Structures are given as C-alpha cells and as structure tokens.
A and B are shown apart, each in its own frame.
Chain A
Amino acid sequence: MLNENKPVNHVAMVGDRTIPPKDARFIEIYIMGQRYKVPETLTILKAMEYAGYQFKRSCGCRGGICGACGTFYRILGDHSIYTGLACQTVVEPGMILAQTPFFPPNRADHIGILDDKMPPDEHIATLYPEIFRCVGCGTCTRTCPMGIDVMNYVALFKRGDVLEGAKVSFDCIMCGLCVVRCPANITQMEVGLAGRRMAATQLIPRSEVTRKRAEQVRAGRYEAMLAELGQMDREKLKERYTSREREPNLSEPGEWMPKDQSHL
C-alpha cells in the first residue's frame, strides 16, 4: 500500500538510458504501488527503467505511435484518472502508475471486409452490434491519449456514416485505453479499424491519375526506358542524372514543361 513512511528504493543505475541529466532534481513516483525517487525530466518509460524495470518484449517504438505503452495514472490526492503514453509523458511528483500493455479486445472476423458485398454501414452493425450499447457517456473520449473524440466516431458509425467515422478515428494507435474503461464493453479501436479499412477500399474515391499511370506501367510504357538506363555504364548514368531537368519548386501546375519531352 502507499505509505509515506516506507523507505524509498534507491536503485543502481542500469544501462545508458538511465543516466540522469546533471543537476537533475528527483521526484517521487509510484510504480506498481512502490515508491521510487526518479529524475524529474524522464518520461514514464525511462523513469521505470531508471527504477530497474526492463522492457524486454513488445514495448515499444518509443516514438508515440505503436500504442504498446498505454498508461493509466493518478496523482496523489487527486481523484481523477489520467492517461498517457509512457514513452511520451514526463513524470510528475506523486504519479501513481499502472501499465496496460494489453486488454482483451473483441475483434470480429474481418474476412470479407474489403469487398463490397454489404454496404459499409450495415457491415459495421453486423460485425460490432455492441456499438448500439453506447450510452454516450464520453469516457472513451476523455481517456484517449491521442485526443481523439472516440465517442464521436462511435456515434458516426452508429448512424451509418462510415467515412466520417473513419476520418475522425484516424489518429488511433490502438493502445486500448478506451476499451478498458468503456462501461458498455465496446472495443472502440477495432470498430475504428474496421471502418477505416472499409472506407479506404470502398468509400474514398480512387485517384484517377494513379490508376491511369498504373495502367501505363502495366502496358509496358516504361520498359524501354528502364532497359536503356539499365544498360548505361556508371559514368553515363551519373551524367544523365546530374544533367536532368527538374521542375522548379513552387511552379504552378501545368505551367512548366521540360525541353526534352520525348520521355513523357
């Protein structure tokens, strides 16, 4: 239990990541209920390593994008629950930390999600009917460490607007913190993922220029040019490269054309 009078663990420094900056001040945090003194400039992840914890598997990118280091925490004396990514959040005095590397999700079978046999809105409803249990409490939104309005994208899926829901959920890193707290037992992140997959394959308009170019490539338009380049020696290649024409930066579309238009 948290006890102000318990002796503090002073741990030996382990590894190069745990060298505190010169003149760093030390603050007290709680890891798994144990009180530690750590340098105040460290992120939660580094503070835990400073305290002797080792992250041996599945955590993480350390760049705020993989979602493995989702953390719930409280601050001593404050009833609120806060969330953050351990690799991005700097420690504060009185932080009481709980890592959630994993929480059981409900992940429906997404086979067939990419084809258009069923309209996307109906498809979402059949894969994840529990979204209709949402009570609109907004806890998920307040929990999200990425600042996504999670309740909003669930609401959008509920009313069949899969494209907009996919857009709102775009920044999701699948950390699962919203899933932990949802009183209706919805796995918001999986719904968002399914929605984004459907939106990408069925709802977002195809880029016409990309399609045309792909057709040209398949038709062999660039085979001869590539073969020509492939047969050049190093010097000739260098010369061809350095003397190539380049479109000037910030030129208006359609305004500039190269002098040698034989390869266009």
Chain B
Amino acid sequence: MPENLTHVPYYPGCSLKTKALGYERSAMDCAKTLGFEMHEIATWNCCGASYPLTKDNLMGLAAPTNILVEAEQHCNERQIDAQLITLCSFCYNALKRTDFAFKEDSAKLETLNAFLERKYQGSVKVLHYLEYLRDVIGFDNLAKLVKRDMSNIRVAPYYGCLLLKPKKEIGLDDPEEPVILHDFLEAIGCQVIDFPGQVDCCGSYLIMRNPEKVLELSHNILQEANDYGAQALVTACPLCQSNLDQSEGERHGSDHFLGVQGMPIFYFTQLLAVALGLDTEQHQFEKHCIDPKSVLSACLDDDVGESQ
C-alpha cells in the first residue's frame, strides 16, 4: 500500500450511510489501495437530492451551498486544493449543477451567501469517484493494480441519468454514448457488455408514487442486458441499484422474466474491490436482493485475497 495517501475530502450523502453503506465501504477500501484516503467532511446535510429545474427556485441551492461551504472550510483548514469527491449520482448532480449556476451567475452566489449568512467563495471542484479514477489515477494504472482474474464475468455498465445529464453542466461523459464505465470495466478485466438500455431511466423517484412504472422500466433494462449476454450490471447510483435490484427481486422466478440465476446489480466500487483482491466481507453483498455470490464465484475461487 502506498505510504503517503492523498487526502481527498468526501461528501457521502444520506443514502450512502444507510441503504448504500456497502458502496461507501468498498469505495473507501479501494481508495487506500489506489493511493488516496477519503475524509468525510465534519458537518454536512442532505444535498436535497433534486436540483431544481425551474430557474427561479433558489431554495434548492441552499443545501448544496451549505455543503460546499463546509468543504471549502475543510480544505482551507488543511491548506489543500479545494475539491470534494462524491459517490452518489444525485449528490454529484446537485453539487455540480449548483457550482455551475454560481459560475454562470455570481448574483446567485451572493444571494445564497446573504441568505445562509455564510461566505462561499466558489472554489470547490466537485468530482465523482469515477472521474478521479479516470483523470487522476488513470485506467491504465488501475489495470496494473488488478489482482484477480475477472475475465470470466460478463458485466453490463448501467449509467442511469443524473451521472451524465445535463452535459453542459456535468460534463463527465457523453449522455448518449458514454464510455467511462465501459473503460472502467475493461481496466479491471471484465468482459464488457455494451447494451442500448445503459442510459435508460430506471424510474427514479417514481418508486414513491408509481412503483409499477419503475418495475416496467427496470424490467426493460434488465431484460435487454440479459438478451445481450450480461451476467451482472454495475451502477454508480444507490437509487438505480435499489430500483433495479428490488424490481428483479420482485419478478425473479416468474416465467416472463429472467432465467433462474438472476443478474446482481453491483456498485462499481464493490466490483473494483473484488478486482483489487481486497476483503469484501464488510461490503454488504448480503443486502442485495439478487445474491452476487453466484456470479462472483467465477473470479473468487483463486488464492488471492480472502475466501468468501
């Protein structure tokens, strides 16, 4: 393990502390192997999970601004570059779009600062963990650190919506033909299953009001991935993971849905931890509706790392 781990401030978001704890733990464990350490900022609040689409709604920027102020303070105190790493797509989207809104219109920043009685200077760079892997670590270097042979599993990258859209404000990758998760999977050695449904919406918050719609949309995505030969999916969003995993759990075993085994929905960091040969005991595989072990057995039966 590298000696001097780069200090990277980290914003978890509410879901990462409860329903997606495995995502956080696997991300933090992998980080250490890759040379950085994720430090949760001391005080934080929920990001609001939904960046307001109407321009007149400044209240929706209040929560992200508070978070950015805390991050800025965290970085100033330690005299490090002002940046903030996130895992949740919704949080990433809200923070990044808030940052864009302030850069586009400094009057908004002034208004928010006056209302919140805080002084955000606009310095924090919001990053997604995938972005850090691609731009700071480099997928080539990542590939060199892989310890397990993942070539026996066929994984489909599922991007969801808010990781990529709107392109003008997020700019991580192309929303219609993204490659970042493809490149990631290739780097860790999996067989990459490219399928059209990779940018289709899982149904998002409609789970609250129209759960049948979520079932329908998730089924379409999963069926298509299955048709293209995928054994599992990776995602970067706790809501996508939950919608897809639970939809599969509900329909699993019924005649018109997938075959007997079912496709587990991984967080990309969970798969990364497996590839890096880390102990995945704490990464909450047992909380998944569709058990990942069946798919993972193809790459875990070797002498690297702990037995599962």
Q: Do chains A and B touch in the complex (CB under 8 A)?
A: yes
Residues on A lying within 8 angstroms of B by beta carbon are 121, 132, 134-138, 142, 149, 151-152, 154-155, 158-161, 183
- The CB with the most chain B CB atoms within 10 A, among A135, A136, A159, A160, is that of A136
Closest B residue to A149 by beta carbon equals B43
Q: Which A residues are CB-close (under 8 A) to B64?
A: 136
Please provide the 4 A-B residue pairs with the shortest distance between their CB atoms, ordered closest to farther: A136-B63, A155-B45, A159-B14, A160-B18
**Docked-complex contact A161 and B17, CB < 8 angstroms:** yes
Compute the total of residue contacts between A and B using a CB distance below 8 Å: 53
Beta-carbon contacts under 8 Å, B186-223 to A: none
**Docked-complex contact A136 and B48, CB < 8 angstroms:** yes
Closest approach, in angstroms, between the C-beta of B193 and any C-beta of chain A?
A: 34
Other contacts beyond A136-B46, A138-B66: 18, CB < 8 A: A134-B45, A136-B47, A136-B63, A136-B64, A137-B59, A137-B115, A138-B62, A142-B117, A155-B14, A155-B44, A158-B14, A158-B46, A159-B13, A159-B17, A159-B18, A159-B46, A160-B14, A161-B17
Q: Please tell me which one of the listed residues A132, A135, A142, A158 contacts residue B60 in the complex, with CB atoms under 8 A apart.
A: A135
**Docked-complex contact B62 and A136, CB < 8 angstroms:** yes
Closest approach, in angstroms, between the C-beta of A124 and any C-beta of chain B?
A: 11
Q: Please tell me which one of the listed residues A121, A137, A154, A155 contacts residue B62 in the complex, with CB atoms under 8 A apart.
A: A137
Kindly state the separation between the CA atoms of A138 and B18 in the bound complex, as whole angstroms: 23
- For chain B, the count of residues having a C-beta within 8 Å of the partner chain is 21
B137 in the interface, Cβ–Cβ < 8 Å?
Answer: no
Q: Which B residues are CB-close (under 8 A) to A152?
A: 43, 45
Known: A151-B45, A152-B43, A155-B46. A135 touches B63 (CB 8 A): yes
Residues on B lying within 8 angstroms of A by beta carbon are 12-14, 17-18, 43-48, 59-60, 62-64, 66-67, 115-117
**Docked-complex contact A183 and B66, CB < 8 angstroms:** no
Closest approach, in angstroms, between the C-beta of A191 and any C-beta of chain B?
A: 14
**Docked-complex contact B59 and A135, CB < 8 angstroms:** yes
Kindly state the separation between the CA atoms of A54 and B66 in the bound complex, as whole angstroms: 43
Kindly state the separation between the CA atoms of A155 and B13 in the bound complex, as whole angstroms: 10
Kindly state the separation between the CA atoms of A159 and B15 in the bound complex, as whole angstroms: 7
Q: Which A residues are CB-close (under 8 A) to B59?
A: 135, 137, 183
Q: Which B residues are CB-close (under 8 A) to A149?
A: 43
**Docked-complex contact A136 and B45, CB < 8 angstroms:** yes
Q: Which B residues are CB-close (under 8 A) to A136?
A: 45-48, 62-64, 66-67
Closest B residue to A156 by beta carbon equals B45
Q: Which B residues are CB-close (under 8 A) to A137?
A: 59, 62-63, 115-116
